[in-house]
C-alpha cells in the first residue's frame, strides 16, 4: 500500500509509552531551546542500534525522565502523543506511563496521573482522537509503590484511566512475582495487560494469562507454543505487537522471523503498535511498512480488520467500542 494511503487509513493503537514517545515538538516547548540542543537530546532518547538487548533499550528512557517531572510538562507530553497519533489518522489510542517515575521534584503519583489525563483530554478535544490512559506498575520496584499505582488506577477509572500494566526488565522479574497485585486488580474489576514474551519466555506469557491478563504486551515468544496460542485464541487474549522495537531489542533476530503473519493466519488475536515513537524512531505507518517489507503489500481489508480487532480488545465499555466501530466503518467506506 502506498505510504500516503497507509497514513490516511484509520488506525487504533493500544501500546504506546508516554516517556518513550516524547517528540521534538513537545521537547522544544519543554526545554525552550532551538536547533542542535533539542536534536542532541532526541538522539540520546533514541535506541542506538538494532539487535541490542531489552535492558539497553530501556536505558534510553532515562534521557527523557528529567523533562517529565512537572505537571505542565506531563500535560505537554500527553497532548503531543495524541497530536502525533492524529497525524496518522489514529481514531483511538491507549497511552501508558509509570506515575512513580515522575516524583523527583515532589509530584505525587496521583498528581502525575491527573496531569497526563488533562493533556489527553485537551488533545482529544483539539484533534478528535479518543484516548485512554494505562498506568504501569514496574518490575523491580517496591510493592508499596506498585500498590500505589494500582490504587490510583482503581480510584481514577471514571476519569480516563482504563487499566494497568506491568513493564520493565522481564528477564529479571517474571510476572508471578506480582501475583498479589494482579489479584487485587481482578477483585477491583480493572483490566490489565502485562509485558511478557519479549525476552524469549513463553512461560511468562502463560503465567500472565493465568493471572488474568486480558492482553499481552509483545508476546512474540509464543510463536511456536501451540498450547499457549490456543489459549489466546480461545480466550481472545490479544498480543500487542510492536515490530520495530521487537527487532531493536532482539526479541526477534530478523524481520523474516517475525511471527505476526503466522499469528494472523492462525487466528491468534494481534494488534500493531509503536511501543515508543521516539526511542524506536517510529510511527504506525513505519510499523506497517516494516511488516510489508517482509510479508508483501497489504490491502485495505487487512488494515480494517486490524483496527476492528484492536477495538474489540480495547479497555473500553462495549457502548464506546460500538461507537468506534461505527466511526471506523464510516471512514473506510
CA angle 108, 174, 232 (to 5 degrees): 105
Q: Would you name the residues annotated as active-site residues?
A: 198
215, β-bridge pairs: 193, 238
Dist. CA 229–CA 38, nearest whole Å: 44
For residues 24 and 283, the answer to whether their CB atoms sit within 8 Å is: no
C-alpha cell at 237: 487474549
State the Cα–Cα distance between residues 325 and 158, nearest whole angstrom.
22
**How far apart (Å, rounded) are the C-alpha atoms in residues 76 and 27?**
9
For the chain, the distance separating the N- and C-terminal CA atoms, rounded to the nearest angstrom, is 17
124 to 99, 119, 285: CA distances (angstroms) = 21, 9, 21
Say which residue the cell 483530554 belongs to. 121
Amino acid at each position: 500500500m502506498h505510504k500516503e494511503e497507509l497514513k490516511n487509513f484509520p488506525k487504533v493503537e493500544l501500546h504506546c509509552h508516554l516517556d518513550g514517545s516524547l517528540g521534538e515538538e513537545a521537547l522544544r516547548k519543554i526545554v525552550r531551546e532551538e536547533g542542535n540542543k533539542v536534536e542532541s537530546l532526541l538522539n540520546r532518547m533514541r535506541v542506538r542500534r538494532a539487535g541490542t538487548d531489552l535492558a539497553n533499550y530501556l536505558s534510553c528512557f532515562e534521557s527523557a525522565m528529567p523533562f517529565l517531572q512537572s505537571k505542565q510538562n506531563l500535560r505537554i507530553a500527553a497532548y503531543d502523543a495524541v497530536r502525533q497519533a492524529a497525524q496518522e489518522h489514529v481514531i483511538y489510542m491507549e497511552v501508558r506511563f509509570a506515575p512513580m517515575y515522575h516524583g523527583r521534584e515532589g509530584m505525587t503519583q496521583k498528581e502525575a496521573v491527573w496531569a497526563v489525563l488533562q493533556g489527553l483530554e485537551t488533545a482529544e478535544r483539539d484533534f478528535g482522537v479518543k484516548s485512554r490512559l494505562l498506568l504501569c506498575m514496574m518490575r523491580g520496584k517496591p510493592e508499596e509503590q506498585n500498590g500505589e499505582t494500582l490504587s490510583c488506577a482503581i480510584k481514577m477509572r471514571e476519569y480516563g484511566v482504563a487499566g494497568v500494566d506491568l513493564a520493565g526488565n522481564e528477564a529479571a522479574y517474571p510476572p508471578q512475582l506480582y501475583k498479589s497485585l494482579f489479584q487485587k486488580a481482578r477483585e477491583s474489576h480493572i483490566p490489565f495487560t502485562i509485558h511478557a514474551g519479549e525476552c524469549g519466555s513463553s512461560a511468562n506469557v502463560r503465567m500472565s494469562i493465568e493471572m488474568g491478563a486480558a492482553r499481552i504486551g509483545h508476546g512474540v515468544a509464543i510463536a511456536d507454543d501451540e498450547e499457549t496460542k490456543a489459549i489466546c485464541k480461545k480466550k481472545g487474549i490479544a498480543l500487542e505487537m510492536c515490530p520495530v522495537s521487537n527487532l531493536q531489542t532482539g526479541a526477534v533476530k530478523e524481520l523474516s522471523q517475525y511471527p505476526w503473519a503466522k499469528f494472523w493466519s492462525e487466528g491468534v488475536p494481534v494488534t500493531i503498535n509503536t511501543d515508543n515513537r521516539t526511542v524506536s524512531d517510529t510511527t504506525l505507518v513505519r510499523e506497517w511498512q516494516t511488516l510489508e517489507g517482509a510479508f508483501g503489500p497489504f490491502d485495505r481489508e487487512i488494515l480494517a480488520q486490524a483496527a476492528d480487532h484492536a477495538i474489540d480488545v480495547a479497555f473500553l465499555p462495549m457502548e464506546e467500542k460500538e461507537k468506534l466501530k461505527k466511526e471506523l466503518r464510516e471512514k473506510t467506506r
